[in-house]
Amino acid sequence: MSARVRTAILISGRGSNMAALIEAARAPDFPAEIALVVSDRHEAGGLAIAKRARIATAAIDPKIYAGRDEFDASMQAMLDIHRIELVCLAGFMRILGGPFVNRWRGRMINIHPSLLPAYRGLHTHERALADRVKEHGCTVHFVEPELDAGPILLQARVPVFEGDSAEALAARVLVEEHRIYPQALAEVATRIATG
């Protein structure tokens, strides 16, 4: 097998999608290796999970930088040091600047809790319930400068039930997130590995 694609996961919170990616990448034939986890919040719960899995971690605090360009430059330096080839955003709540995103075009993916192009942005489950949609879900897509708008790699659908709460719906969607994100990562890593 050719070398596994060195992958970084960027998080801001609990890191359940990150954990699903780490778990999937334990398989010896998985085409990506999780080489780094970076958070923009020191207190992100996912950092402890990554450390327990013996993955290199870093926290980059946006407050110590003059602006977005400086933060993005620090992130890029971290990715360079770890020779990262592919980036997964997994609940990363910070908007990355256009130059950074363009530099990673085709090599940076995100998981979003809606069936894009429906419900870009935040509070997707609440908005889906308010619209009384029958189906909801999640999307893995390539990241482009426009928020939640890049080419779609994989989607999964879940039913919306009468009387659903946002929490119940979010939990139903999350199960699917944990299933499709590793699949999408494998697909992109294979594409990169095979040129």
Given the rule CB under 6 A, which residues bind ligand GRF? 11, 13-18, 90-91, 111-113, 138, 177
Instruction: Please count the other Cβ atoms lying within 10 Å of the Cβ belonging to residue 150.
Output: 21
Residue numbers annotated as active site: 112
- The CB-of-15 to ligand GRF minimum distance in angstroms stands at 5
Identify whether the C-beta of residue 154 lies closer than 8 Å to the C-beta of residue 145: no
Please work out, in degrees rounded to the nearest 5, the angle formed at the alpha carbon of residue 122 by the alpha carbons of 119 and 123.
85
CB of 11 or CB of 160, closer to ligand GRF: 11
- The CB-of-32 to ligand GRF minimum distance in angstroms stands at 17
CB of 30 or CB of 181, closer to ligand GRF: 181
CB of 129 or CB of 138, closer to ligand GRF: 138
- The CB-of-90 to ligand GRF minimum distance in angstroms stands at 5
Supply the DSSP string of 41-98, one letter for each residue: STT-HHHHHHHHTT--EEE--GGGSSSHHHHHHHHHHHHHHTT--EEEESS--SPPPH
21 contact partners, CB below 8 Å, separation of at least 6: 7, 9, 32, 34, 88, 90, 181, 182, 185
Dihedral through CA 142, CA 145, CA 149, CA 151, nearest 10? -30
CB of 69 or CB of 135, closer to ligand GRF: 135
- The CB-of-184 to ligand GRF minimum distance in angstroms stands at 12
- The CB-of-110 to ligand GRF minimum distance in angstroms stands at 7
Q: Which of 54, 59, 50, 61 is nearest to 14 (CA)?
A: 50
CB of 15 or CB of 150, closer to ligand GRF: 15
Q: Please give the Cα distance from 163 to 186 (Å, whole number).
A: 36
